[in-house]
A and B are shown apart, each in its own frame.
Chain A
């Protein structure tokens, strides 16, 4: 048992840090640090920079263009990236559809899609949830009917994240009605430009456009875009969700969030002193730090167990999802509280990087302040998405505790 990084890992950390310093564009870094709106161009640009360096998908096997990083290397990469202000890589592409293609896709699908994912050419989004199927995902009703050499898809997907940027969508669709719900589902890859797809923005409570409703009206999908076998899609879907949950611990992001919370609490005043010296506030902050310390070690313990046994992340990923989402939410909440009355102004334009406060407002309104309340509202999503935290507890209780 040894929690220290070995010399190779330390060298890797130094390499990542130097890379971030040299290659991360300052505009992107500033947007991340100040919580300003990130555009598609920013995220694709960053993916291309990583790709050119050979780090487009560090965890992937070498034969698919990855660097075959260890779990510890991946952890270091994320931690350094978050600390430097790098955006997260597009998860739906790299972390969700790609592992499914590697595990269950055919050679043609792997050869066509994986290089385009890693280069940033294709942006993927997720077609899982439906208006009537949230936590009970297997009840989904979007239908794919086989007609000759293609499927015809009809139905609707919702809570789709950043589909407005996407080139492709992976869709869970019902291909058989007579069987158990889970047994009639297939996993399809759909080009977003296909006629019959209509995307409608959903504005969330923070006033932003992050998610969408997507309607499918007689959308023709070539049969070769079926992943694996027809009616086996639920197996692939669960495999994907395991990867999604592991990713959702977001340790690097939480660490960065904690650091910025401390900086904010040091800059804000309470009782004529820095807020961070207020014992009540400081203890709340300390508790979050301890939760995060525990989660980081739990995360590494589980990832190394998965690595040693070379298997896909199992139900223990639910712990990471629950704890990670709780920490992200607590950080967002405390940042908002740190602002006191400055939490109230709602300035949409302040979320653009070039915004400058009017002199009167600027006299007390810190540059970090504008996005914090909206982020608090927005982060309520983390305990709901990727399988609500209640669903995660169901998973733990069924698959780990055997209740």
Chain B
């Protein structure tokens, strides 16, 4: 048992911190969030140069063989810097899915391109009325010649507007009531005939889109995973990505606590810094405790997210996402409260941290959803 980072990991963290301090200030981030693309293509190329885009991929495909802890470390910095680039969608979520679930030829074609900064991916897995269920899918992929014709709608596909390919789930036969038997995964290039996007910004400065698939023809080679194994591959990728969101949330909670503590020490009312008031001191202490507990859960999720034991992985990640969702809500709401009206304005960075933290809970299953998942898989004996 060892809770320390390696020297390489610490060096990576320091590099990212320097990058954020130098190139990703609050004003710069606001400009990027308002720009048509919504992030910095230049930053993306910097990530490629730093090796971040190759981090979790295998060595033989130019990757760095990073594990869940490496991803955690990067995602914590993504949170601290409120980075807008689609790192999580491309590298962690879809890249991870391709790495673990795609045929060798597809892995070899896609992963080095991601690593080089030439390819971005987005996941289209959720559908209207499906909420957070990966199996509640109506999109159909019908056999057509040597390929498939896919029709359906995907909702709130994060980072889809800038993606070159979409990872899409669809049924290869009408709903049998057994998603495990029906569901398959495809890699659909964005320019394919019949693909259309309704793009919009997200509440936390990112980009997303609803994707309409109208009789979209793809070759057999676009099949990432056939029915029978696709759902478990998808679930695994989503769990890993949820673990990464946990780390991002920890990074944000740390920044919110730092900012709030600073505010308590400098804001004066009744002739004294407001941090002299015990009501606020105790709240701050509770926020500090929440951050430490969140960090512990993020570590558990990062370590278990790579586990081959599906039950253990689901239980740990769902538990961590549920716990962090609730703790983050507390930290976020109290950070705004303790900043008073200053926390309410668009000009203050805490409001941006709060919004991102809140949207993390709403992504891949909120605290209630994940608590249910944890509760159902909890060991009883």
Contact = CB atoms under 8 A, between A and B. Distances in A.
Interface of A: 1-6, 9, 72, 262-263, 266, 276, 279, 282-283, 285-287, 289-291, 293-298, 300-301, 304-305, 308, 319, 322-323, 390, 392-394, 396-397, 400-403
Interface bin, chain B:
35 or more
A401 B2 contact: no
B42 interface: no
20 contacts: A3-B300, A72-B1, A286-B375, A289-B378, A291-B323, A293-B296, A293-B297, A297-B296, A297-B297, A301-B295, A304-B1, A304-B2, A304-B3, A393-B286, A396-B285, A397-B282, A401-B284, A401-B285, A401-B288, A403-B275
A397 B285 contact: yes
Given A297-B300, A396-B289, A401-B261, A286 B371 contact: yes
A2 B2 contact: yes
A293 B292 contact: no
A319 B292 contact: yes
Contacts of B276: 403
B292 A1 contact: no
A393 B285 contact: yes
Contact of A293 (B4, B264, B265, B319): B319
Nearest to B302: A1
A1 B303 contact: yes
A301 B3 contact: yes
A283 B326 CA distance: 14
Contact of B281 (A295, A300, A394): A394
Contacts of A402: 265
B109 interface: no
A301 B302 CA distance: 15
Given A304-B2, A394-B281, A403-B281, A1 B289 contact: no
B264 A403 contact: yes
A323 B299 contact: no
A92 to B, nearest CB: 27
Contact of A403 (B5, B69, B265, B295): B265
A300 B1 contact: yes
Interface in B1-32: 1-5, 9
A55 B196 CA distance: 70
A300 B4 CA distance: 12
Contacts of B302: 1
Nearest to A396: B285
Contact of A400 (B275, B288, B378): B288
B381 interface: yes
B292 to A, nearest CB: 5
Contacts of B284: 397, 401, 403
Contacts, number: 118
Contact of B303 (A3, A9, A295): A3
Given A294-B293, A297-B296, A390 B282 contact: yes
B289 A308 contact: no
A290 B374 contact: yes
A290 B2 contact: no
B297 A1 contact: no
A331 to B, nearest CB: 15
Contacts of A263: 381
A237 to B, nearest CB: 22
Contacts of B285: 392-393, 396-397, 401
B13 to A, nearest CB: 12
A294 B5 contact: no
A9 B374 contact: no
Contacts of A304: 1-3
B297 A319 contact: no
Interface of B: 1-5, 9, 69, 261, 264-265, 275-276, 278, 281-282, 284-286, 288-289, 292-297, 299-300, 302-303, 319, 322-323, 371-372, 374-375, 378, 380-381
B2 A298 contact: no
Closest 10 A-B residue pairs measured CB to CB? Answer: A297-B296, A397-B281, A286-B375, A396-B285, A393-B285, A294-B293, A403-B275, A393-B282, A298-B296, A290-B323
Nearest to B299: A297
Contacts of A322: 289
Contacts of B282: 390, 393-394, 397
Contact of B296 (A283, A294, A390): A294
Contacts of A5: 1
Nearest to B5: A1
Nearest to B377: A286
A6 B171 CA distance: 44
A308 B281 contact: no
A319 B1 contact: no
A263 B4 CA distance: 36
A282 B265 CA distance: 42
Contacts of B297: 290, 293-294, 297
Contacts of B292: 298, 319
A113 B36 CA distance: 75
Contacts of A282: 375, 378
Name the residue in B275, B285, B297 with the highest tally of chain A Cβ atoms < 10 Å from its Cβ.
B285
B1 A283 contact: no
B381 A262 contact: yes
Contacts of B294: 294
A262 B380 contact: yes
Contacts of B278: 394
A352 to B, nearest CB: 29
A85 B373 CA distance: 31
Contacts of A291: 293, 323
Given A290-B374, A396-B285, 14 more contacts: A2-B2, A282-B375, A286-B371, A290-B319, A290-B323, A291-B323, A294-B297, A296-B296, A297-B296, A297-B297, A301-B296, A394-B278, A396-B288, A401-B288
Nearest to B380: A262
Contacts of A396: 285, 288-289
Nearest to B273: A403
Nearest to A316: B292
B48 to A, nearest CB: 25
B299 A286 contact: no
B281 A283 contact: no
Contact of A294 (B3, B281, B323): B323
B127 to A, nearest CB: 26
Nearest to A2: B2
Given A290-B374, A297-B299, A308 B4 contact: yes
Name the residue in B3, B288, B295, B303 with the highest tally of chain A Cβ atoms < 10 Å from its Cβ.
B3
Nearest to A297: B296
Nearest to B381: A262
Contacts of A319: 288-289, 292
A168 B295 CA distance: 42
Nearest to A294: B293
Contact of B380 (A276, A300, A393): A276
A52 B371 CA distance: 46
A279 B375 CA distance: 9
Contacts of B374: 286, 290
